Amino acid sequence: MNTCEFCRAGAPVLSGLPTCERCYSEVAATLSGLSELLAGLRAATPRTLARPPREMNAPGGSRAGPSSPAHEALLDLRAELIATVRTWAGLAGANPAAPPVRTLLANLAVALAVEGGASAAGRLLHLTDTARQRLDPPEVIQVQDRCPECGTRGLVRYDTGGPCWCSYCYAEIYPAA
C-alpha cells in the first residue's frame, strides 16, 4: 500500500493520488485561500512589517522609501506563488487563458496525479507557509548597540534574526557575522 508523499506520516494515499485525505484537503484549502493570501502580500506595508508609522511623514519625504527589503521579499514571494500555481496548472494541462487556481481546484485529483503535480503542490504549501509567517511577523526586539548612522539607541530587529534597522533614521544595518 502506498503512503502519502506529503506528510510522510505513513497515511494511506487516496486511490490514484500521491496524497492522503488530510493532505488533499490541505492543498484544496490552500488553493481556496490563495487569492486572499496574495492580496495580503500585496497590501502589506512597511508599517505592517513593524516599521514605525512616522516613516511615512519623515522630513524630506520617503528617505528610506516605502519599500523595505522585507516588503520586497513579500512581493517576490507573491510572484513566486503566482508562478508556482501557473506552472502547476500548465503541468495539469490547463488552458493558459483560464484562471489557474480555479482550474486546479476544479481538477485537483488530476492535477495532483500528473507528473510534477505533487511536487508543485508541495512547493505551493511551503511558499504559503512562508508567506503566512511573513505576514504575521516575528516579534521585534530592541538591540543594545547604538545606531552607527545617527547614534541613537533606536536599533531593533526581529527575534528570528536578520538585519537590524533604526527606528529613528531608518538605516538598515547588517550586523557583522
List interacting residues with Zn ion (CB under 5 A). 4, 6-7, 11, 20, 23, 147, 149-150, 166, 168-169, 171
- Smallest gap from residue 107 Cβ to Zn ion (A): 19
**Residue 88 CB, nearest approach to Zn ion (Å):** 18
- Give the nearer residue to Zn ion in terms of CB position, either 80 or 149: 149
C-beta of 117: minimal distance to Zn ion in Å? 15
Query: Checking phi first, is residue 59 left (phi over 0); if not, alpha (psi -120 to 50) or beta?
Result: beta
Pick 11 or 105: Cβ nearer Zn ion = 11
- If the CB atoms of residues 9 and 98 are measured against Zn ion, the closer one turns out to be 9
Nearest-approach distance from CB 46 to Zn ion, in angstroms: 16
Burial of 135 (0-12, 13-18, 19+ CB in 10 A): middle
Closest CB to Zn ion among 52 and 90? 52
Grid cell for residue 85: 500555481
Closest by CA position to 45, among listed 70, 81, 80, 79: 70
Task: Report CA 55 to chain centroid distance, whole Å.
Answer: 24
CA-based torsion, 105, 107, 108, 114: positive or negative:
negative
Nearest-approach distance from CB 165 to Zn ion, in angstroms: 9
C-alpha distances (whole Å) from 176 to each of 2, 14, 60, 66, 163 are 49, 50, 30, 26, 10
Q: Name which of 30 and 40 has its Cβ closer to Zn ion.
A: 30
